[in-house]
Structure 1
C-alpha cells in the first residue's frame, strides 16, 4: 500500500469506572490480608512446635531429640561418602594433626563380664602406682575405718564427707603427722581425724539447732561463730595468719597468775581492742591497733608485754646497765604518767619495776631511778632523746616497743625524736620483711639469752600519712586491728552544736548551761588558746562552780595537781586546751563543752572522747562561729553517722558544710592537725 494512502486505525480507549477501580483495590487489599494471615498462622505453628519440642526435651523424650537432630542435619551439607571421608581425614591429619576430640583408646583384650569380676580394660601390669602410693592409700583407709560405723551409706558405699577437698586435706595432714613421728605419730593422726569428723558432724547439724557463740564452749566455735563474734564487737582485722579473738579472760593464752592479777584489778570483761589485740601480740607479731580513745588500749599492750618479760631472766647488777626490756612511748607527760600508774597495777605483783621519763621533773632524779634498773620504761619522746644523748640510758637489750597515741605524737612534731629512738635500738634482731614475720614459732624464739626479734606495736585513733610512713619503716608485716571506724566518735556520746558568734554571748550560754545543774561533775571545757583558759575559768567560777585550768604554760606539778583535784572531786570543772584532749583519763565526765571548736575533726574527736567512756553515756556541746567554716563539712558528716546524735537544721543547711574544703585551709585538709591554725605550738604542748 502506498504510504500516502496509509490511514492509522482509530483506537478506542476504555477507562474503568470508579466502581471498577474500587472493586479492584478491594480485591488487592483482601489478597494482602490473606497473605499476612497465612504468614502469621505459619509463625504460630512454628512457635507451637518449638515449644512442644522444648517441653519434650525437658521430659527427656528421645524421639524429640532425634527429630531435632534430623532437622539440624537437614540444614547441614550432605554427608560425605566413605572415600571422601577417608580423603578428608588424610588431609586433616596432614595439616592439623590428630583429632583430639575423638578417643583412640583400644583395649588389649575383650572385656569380660562375670559375676565376681569387673575389668575396666587394663591388667595389673599397667598399674602405675608405686608401693608408696599403695601404702599411703592403705593408711588413709585405716584412718577412715574407725568412723565407718557413724557415717551414712549410699548405694552400698560409705559417704565420708560432703566436702571431699576438706576431707582429703585432713587425711593428708594426718598422714604427714604419722610419718613425721614414728613413735607417737599414729596417735596424733587419730587426733587430727577425730577433730575433723567432730567438726563435720557439727557442720551437718540443721540450722535451727545452731547456738549463739556465747552459748558454745570454745572447742565448738566455727568460722561462722567467729564472724558473728567480730561483728558483735565491731572488730575488723587485716593481715596474714591472724588468730581468733579472745572471748573471755580465762580462755586466753595468758598465764594463770596474770589472770588472777587481772581479776584482782577489777577487769571483768575484756574490751574489743583487748579481745582482738592480745592474742596477736602474744604471737610476737607487729601490730597496729586503731581504736577510739577510752577503749582500753593500755591493758591491751601491757598484758602481752608482761608475758614477754616473764620469759626473760631477771635483771642483775650487770644486765640492768644494758637498759630496759621494754619501752612505751606516749605523746604527753600526763598520758605517760597515767600509763605508769596502770602498769604498776600489773607489774608490781611480779616484782617488775616501771620508771617514767617525762619533762617537768628533775633529770637527776630520773637518772637515779634508771641507775637502779627497770624492766619497763614509759617516756615522752623529747625527754627520752635527752637521756639517750646524755648517755644516761641505753637500749641495747630492748626488744619490745609500744607507741601509744602515735598520731598525736606526729601532731606534736615528734617524728624526728621517734626515728632517733628507734634507730638507737639494736638492729641485729630486726624482723625479716617476709612471710616469716607472720610465723609465730619464728618470731617467738630467742636469738640469744635475752634477745629475740624486735616487736613493735602502734596504737592510734587515726592513721594520718606520717604515721603510715613510720609504720612502713619500722614494722614488719603488721597485723592491723580496727575497732569500729577509724577516726569516728563513739556511739555513747551525744553531739550537739550551737551557732553562737562572739565571746560575750558564748560566756552567757556557758554560764546558763552550768547554772542549770543538768550535768553532774566533772565537766570539761575546751578552749583553743592558753590565755582564754583563765578568762573562761573566771566565768565558770562566777556561775557557782569550782574550776581548775590545764594548759602548756603550767608546770608539771601544777598540771598534776589540777588533774588530781578533778579526780578527787575537789574541782568540778576542768578548763583546758587540747593538752587534755588526748590520753587524759578522768572518770565519769558527763559533759564536754567546746567553747572554741577544734581546728581539725581529729582533735574534735579526741576532745569529745573524754566523755562516754567505759560504756557510759555522755554529751558534747560545741559552740560554732564563722571562724570554724573549714571543719563544718567534716563535723556534719560525723554527727550524721552517730546513732544517738541529731543533726541541727542550721548545720545541715550551712553553706560551708555542703562540700569539703581544699587542702591548705585552716584545718579542713588531710593534715589539718599539723598545718592548721596552730593549735599545737601555740598551746604549749611541747
Structure 2
C-alpha cells in the first residue's frame, strides 16, 4: 500500500500550512468527484516520489505522473513498496474508462524473486510416484482381497485374533455383539468364550460330543460367559439372567461334567456320599427335560471314567418306594423339584452332604408358582449340610431378577458374579403374532383345519383353558382329520403326562392340546406354531404360551382366537403387547377385535403394567 499523505497537504491549502487568521482552522471536508480524487492521489504520489528520489532510482520505471492510471501494489526485492501503472483509455466526454475489463483488477501481484519461494524447499510426506504406485496396486487387487489392505491398516478383527493379542477393547466389542453384561463386587470376571475349544476348558471327548454328536457349532451368549466363570477357580457363586430357551441347561451342565471328568466313584461310594451336583427346577416336566438333556451327553463317549455318570430325577407323582428304587445305585447328578426333595431328605432316602454344585434353574418361576417357602427350606437344608464344604458353589439362573430373587441371592449366595444376557435384536424371539376375531369354537376349528394347520410343520401346540375343551377338540381332530393328537392337562397322571410329551418330542404325535401347565418351563424343540384356541384369562399366561415357539434362534408363529367375552383389561394388554413386540414386522391384529373392545381409542390405551 502507498505511504500516507503528508500532514501539510491534509491541513493546509495549496500544499502548505494555514497562517494568520486561518491558523488553527481546518477546512470543512467536502466530497470530491471521481476525477478530483484521481488528481489528488496523483499529487500525493508525485510528492512521495520527489521526497524519495535519492536511492530509489531503480524504482523510477514503476512510477509515472499520468492521470487516471490503474495501479497495483506489491513488495520489491529491496522490501520497499512499489506501484505499477498501466495505461487505460479514457472517454473524454464521460470521464469513464473505456475498453475491455481489467482482468488484473482486485488481484494482488506480488513482486518477489523466484528463489524467495519457501515452498520450493519443502519435501512432501508422500511423493507423487509413491501415491501412483499405491493406486496402481489397489486397482490391480481383486475385490475380495481388498479387505486385507484395510485389515492391515485397522488390525485384525477380534474373531480371528490370537487369544494373547485380544485387548480390552476387543473383549468389549465381543460383549456388545452378544449383549453380555457382567458385574462382580469382589474380584474380576472371566472373559467369554469365542469358541468351544478356547482355553482348553472342555476335555477333548466331551468337546467331541458337543460339536460332533450334538452339532453345537458355537456357544450361545449365556454359554459363552457362564462356562468360563463357573469353572474358574476359586469357584464363585453366580447369577445368570437370560430368557427362556437361551441354552441355560448346557451353560450349567457342561461345567458340572467338567468338574466330574476323571472323578472315579464306584457304586458303593455313590450310595454313601450321595450326589455331587443338585439341580432344582419348578415343575416335573422341566426336571425331566433337564434330566433328558444331560443324559443325552452322559450316555455317549464323553469321559475316560469306566463308571457311568448316573443322572436321576425325583418329582411328584411317584411314590417314595419308586424313588428309593431309582436311587438304589446312587447318583452323580440329581435333578428334583423342591417339594419332593424335602420329602426324600425327611425320609432319609438320600444325603446331600457332599454336594459340590447347587443349581437353581428357572428360580423366578419357582417364586411365581408359590414355591418360595419350599425353596428357602431346601436352601437352608443344603447350607446346613454343605457349610463345611470347601469349593461349594451355588448357581442361580432366572429369566427375571425380581425382588424376591434378589432377597434369596443375598441370603444364600456369597458375593455372586452377576451375568446378564440381554434380549437384543439378535437374540429376541422371532415370533409373529396374529390375533383373529372368531366368536365360536366350531368356526375356529374349521379355520384351523382348512387354513391354518396345512401351512405349518409339526410339532404344534394348541392351548385351551378347560379340560373338557381339550377332550372335545381331540375328538374333533380324531374324527375329521388325519393328525395324531396328544393331550396334556392337570387331570392326567404323571405317567400319562410324560407319555404325551414323549409322543410329541419323538414325532409320533403332531399336535399337543394343553392347558397352561405346558406354558411354563417346557422345552419342546422346533415348535413351529402355537395356537391360543382360547385366549388365556391372565395376560402373563399368554406371554408364556407364545414363548413355546421361536426359541433357540428359530422363528415361530402364534395365532390367537378372540371371542366376544374376553376380559377387557387382558385385551388391552394383548393389544399393546402385539403392537410393541414385533421383531418380524409382520404382526397382525384384527380390526374387528379392535372395534369390539374399543382398543383403537387413544384414551383407552393407557395401560399400567
* Bucket of the pairwise TM-score, normalised by the shorter protein: 0.5 to 0.7
State which drifts further: 208-217 or 349-358. Answer: 208-217
8 Å CA contact retained: 2:436, 2:590 = no
The aligned counterpart of 2:256 is 305
- Residue by residue, what CA displacement relative to the aligned partner does 1:8-27 show, whole Å, maximum 9, x if unpaired? xxxxxxxxxxxxxxxxxxxx
Deviation at 1:478, TM superposition (A): 2.1
Equivalenced residues, count:
438
* CA positional deviation for 1:524: 0.6
Q: What residue in structure 2 maps to residue 265 of structure 1?
A: 214
Structure 2 equivalent of residue 378 of structure 1: 335
- Paired with 2:450 and 2:427, the residues of 1 have a C-alpha distance of 26
What corresponds to 2:429 in structure 1?
Answer: 491
Give the distance between the partners of 1:467 and 1:390, measured in 2 at CA: 29
CA contact (8 A) 1:292 1:489 kept: no
The residue correspondences of 1:101-500 to structure 2 (distance < 5 A) are: 208-240=153-185, 241-252=188-199, 253-263=201-211, 264-283=213-232, 284-310=235-261, 314=265, 317=268, 320-348=271-299, 349-350=302-303, 351-427=308-384, 430=387, 451-485=389-423, 490-500=428-438
Give the conservation status (yes or no) of the 8 Å contact 1:291–1:486: no
Residues 525/490 of structure 1: CA separation in 2 closer, same or farther (3 Å cut):
farther
Scaled by the length of structure 1, the TM-score of the pair is 0.59
Q: Deviations over 1:98-122 (max 9, x none)?
A: xxxxxxxxxxxxxxxxxxxxxxxxx
Q: 1:573 to 1:206 in 2, by over 3 A?
A: closer
Offset, 1:421: 1.4
What is the rounded CA distance, in whole Å, between the counterparts of 2:424 and 2:560 in structure 1? 22
2:436–2:562 CA contact under 8 A, matched in 1:
yes
1:274 CA displacement: 0.6
**Are 1:629 and 2:568 an aligned pair?**
yes
Q: Does 1:558 align with 2:496?
A: yes
CA distance in 2, matches of 1:552, 1:601: 20
> Mapping of 1:561-572 within 5 angstroms?
561-572=499-510
Tell whether 2:582 aligns with 1:642.
yes
> Gaps spanning 5+ residues in structure 2: where?
1-149
Any idea what the Cα deviations from partners look like across 1:67-86, whole Å, max 9, x if unmatched?
Answer: xxxxxxxxxxxxxxxxxxxx
Matched position secondary structure for 1:627:
coil
Aligned-pair CA distance for 1:311: 7.3
Distance 1:555 1:488 in 2: 40
Q: Which runs of 5+ in 1 are unaligned?
A: 1-204, 431-446, 662-668, 670-686
Partners of 2:270 and 2:332 within 8 A in 1:
no
Q: Which one is further off, 502-511 or 248-257?
A: 502-511
Q: What value does the CA root-mean-square deviation take over the aligned residues?
A: 3.0
| Structure possessing the higher radius of gyration over alpha carbons | 2
1:536 to 2:473 alignment: yes
TM-score (norm 2): 0.66
Report deviation, 1:324.
1.2
**Residue 287 of structure 2 contacts residue 336 of structure 2 at CA under 8 Å; is this kept in 1?**
yes
* Structure 2 CA distance for partners of 1:611 and 1:428, relative to 1, 3 Å: closer
Contact 2:435 2:590 in 1 (8 A): no
